[in-house]
Structure 1
Amino acid sequence: QGCLLRLRKHLLEDADCNRVICDNILTSTPMEVYSNQTDWAPFKNLCGHMQELFQAVYDIGVGLVDREAVEEDRQELERLWQVFLASEGISPPDLDELPAYANSTRSVLRRHADKALAMMQEVVGGSGSPAQPLAAEKLLSLAAELARRLQLLIENVSVTLLLNYHLANLEHNGRVDQKNYVHQIYGDVDSVSVVFHEIPGKRWDSLTHL
């Protein structure tokens, strides 16, 4: 179990809801600098709930390494499922003013929440009770998938915010100076619409070395 506890810690290192905008590998800028409350509030809600869900499912899995599942384990899994279903960040609607260059923060939240829900659905089942017998291997595998999904959520929110924020600023500065800075730097981007969904983790490590 010592190895499993170290793995849990390692997975959480890449699932820090407070390290979304990483200026470099050691520091990060608060998300609030790059977004308003309509974006960062639902993100923090979903990210926090996904992090808690991962940790709880992982801990149940570790507890089942040396024993069979009992009714209390099933009840706890169902409770976790219901709490996650009730979280506000699962399906926030898009706002009227959508970003011009990338998908919205809220669309990223919905995407990854749907993936997490599908993962849990396979184990919990449609009625709220486990669809199949609980076992350590199955729950630890589910927890690892949830951690990976949480890491993707953080990465995708990060790049979406950065692109929309900096290009919007570039547009604004161009209007102030009566110049088209976006066109000067990037050319015709009227038809550009970047969608970030499955960008893998460790992006900032790679950028540091490059």
Structure 2
Amino acid sequence: MATLLDAIGILQKAGVYATIIPFLLITAAVYALLVKFKPFGEHKWVNGIIAFVVGLIFISMARAVEFINKFIPLFTIFLLLLVLAFLIFTFIGIKAETMSELFTKNPAATGIFVLIILILVLVVISQVFPEPTMLIQYPEEAERLNLSLVGPNATAREQAAAFGMLQVLRILTSPQILSLIILFATFGLATYFITREPKK
């Protein structure tokens, strides 16, 4: 008898997870944005065609599809943990309206949510694009493996641009800079909560 794992394996072999799901996700997201902000007016068929073309272009880029396939499980786990936290707070007597107001009207909570999303994005980027990560964190190993951000036929300008970008990434990802960012973020949040005016 076929099992759920067998069905999932068949879907994977058919390319559902590699192409169809990313295509539908990107097409739906682009269409929703076009309908929301109306850059091309109220023409639904125009918005649909643009979203369809963007979805096709997206799935033609292998690493973009890989990014979506790696990001969705992490984001799903984060949402499940968030729902679990809501349930725990509900069991201890905190009202759902209070928690909803905390996440929708509190800039600090919104900032933390955005920060977690950015961390997830950076984690996935480091997996999808391992070359820059290795060049930044393990330059000796990258040199041994002959890894580079530019091809062998790159011009001097392209090599200089890649070198400059690599140096900027090394500075931004250094422990000292990250510690300063966390320190300033903590100080900013503390200042906000101390100096804000109480609601009447």
| TM-score, length-scaled by structure 2 | 0.29
Higher helix share: 2
Higher relative contact order (CA 8 A, sep 6+): 1
| TM-score, length-scaled by structure 1 | 0.28
